[in-house]
Chain A
């Protein structure tokens, strides 16, 4: 098994042709680099993957340009450049079905990937949308206007028929929201953690739309990640530190494990002078301030993958807080880190494997919102059936099933009774023993007898006449 990290940057302002803006797909546990993407640069959270492997795509919203670039897995250069209504600051993909973009004007755009239809455009924020996250039918957006807006994806998809309204708007933050994390679980248990430059991480229950806990950090929070089992949060700060926020803690008095927060409480985290819960890998190296721009936690919750404003990406062991790997640095601030896992020997990841019939592009994303009439003429582009997989050998022959079939069929060839029903045919008489043939035989016999009788009579007559003739002479 292998874990793969995709990471890209926001580009270098001095590089006009973006020749140095690369994105990479690298293994977390080995030195293997699966792929690199040229001229790939996006705003923070502005790149998404439809998956890893053949026919999957990387969709990247170009930083400060009204263009989306689509890369096919296995190809370094963009396969498509799609013009869009405005520069997008962030992207999110919902169940490989919808592409949601957050604009710098504060609008969110909802496209259907299979048709390219623009299903909805919503005036969501007063300033740029910084981050969009989707889980379990809820789309949550955080903006520079410090608001967090929650939508039901079903409402957005049906916006042309029933104009969608936000499920909830959270306005507790006072400065821009920089990152969001939505937990997993049953819909009634879903929570959203918001990170903001007002030095807080807030936890809301989506079902009840209530603030559960506010964590107050010493500095601005720029990025946020959660342990897969939600035992802790990791907050990337604007001073280069990553702060761990435990969500369970032993009570020092009672020695009982307790959940941190709840009941709308405010939990203030004081500066961690002993660095017990702080990661310092991105700490300022003297060349200006470093901001931890992106964070992700690996599948097993033991490593933290973090990127900073100087283009450094580290893999840090959470237990020891030691850097395990340093990825190839990027030309600008790290804008996106995405993790995926796969089998180590997965042939689908072989970049040289090429199916000439694979779907290389996505439908062109429309720039006009779809109306109810257009929905009736809804057309999607899809490859039907399954992608021809590479040859992985054949399945073992199921001998037991085969023998069972043989036994079942053998019944028809076996005389299961104690009567020997073999018909012994003697001579040719029995050949026409029955049926139509027998009838014909009888008729023929009768005809033959009649003819014989007639011949005999004729012969007798002839002989009599002949005798009379002789006697007459």
Chain B
């Protein structure tokens, strides 16, 4: 899977938000806020042509002290959530 084009991560008022950003328009009416960890994952998977839950789990393990199982569970649930918000394509 991969992150769809047309989204930009911004830091507004100390919050990480994803904003639908076209070449001309920025739409702040449909922003998605991310916590530190989610923002870290987002920033690292956006440049990838494609990524898997495994890739995300490895990213978490590299940065945080966390059990692999828990990391994988969290990654799965955030991917579900991003899919629901139509941020991810297969």
- Note whether A and B form a binding pair: no
